[in-house]
Copies of this chain bind each other. A is one copy, B any other.
Amino acid sequence: MRRIRNQIFQTLSSGPVSVYRLIDSQDASLPEFFELIEELEREGLIKVEDGKVSLTEEGRKYISELGAVNIDVRCKSCDGTGYSIAKDFEEILQKYKEIAKDRPETSEVFDQGFISPEGVIKRVEFIYERGDLLNAEMFVVGDDDLLSIASALTEMPKRISVIDADERLIDFINRVADEYSLPVTAEVCDVQDELPEKFKGKFDLFVTDPVETLPGLRLFLSRGVSALKGEGCAGYFGITTLEASRKKWYEIQKMILDMGFVITDLRRKFNVYPEDEKNFFRFQEKLPVVKKFGAKIDYNFYTSTLYRIEAVRKPEPVVKGRMVINEAVYKDEESWATPY
Contacts and interface: CB of A to CB of B under 8 A. Distances in A.
A333 B83 contact: no
Interface string A17-40: 011110110011111101000000
B266 A32 contact: no
B270 A81 contact: yes
A90 interface: no
A178 B121 CA distance: 50
A312 B246 contact: yes
Interface string A277-297: 000000000001100111111
A172 interface: no
A21 B79 CA distance: 27
A171 to B, nearest CB: 31
Contact of A293 (B51, B119, B263): B51
A92 interface: no
A80 B300 CA distance: 13
A30 B242 contact: yes
Binding site of A, secondary structure by majority: helix, strand, loop or mixed?
mixed
A20 B299 contact: yes
Interface of A: 18-21, 23-24, 27-32, 34, 48, 50-51, 75-84, 118-119, 122, 241-250, 253-254, 257, 262-270, 272, 288-289, 292-301, 303, 310, 312, 333-334, 336-337
Task: Please provide the 4 A-B residue pairs with the shortest distance between their CB atoms, ordered closest to farther.
Answer: A82-B82, A51-B295, A81-B82, A78-B82
29 contacts: A18-B298, A19-B293, A20-B295, A20-B298, A20-B301, A21-B298, A30-B288, A30-B334, A30-B337, A31-B334, A31-B336, A34-B289, A34-B292, A34-B336, A48-B293, A75-B78, A77-B84, A78-B78, A79-B118, A79-B119, A80-B82, A82-B82, A246-B262, A246-B264, A249-B264, A250-B262, A257-B257, A264-B268, A265-B266
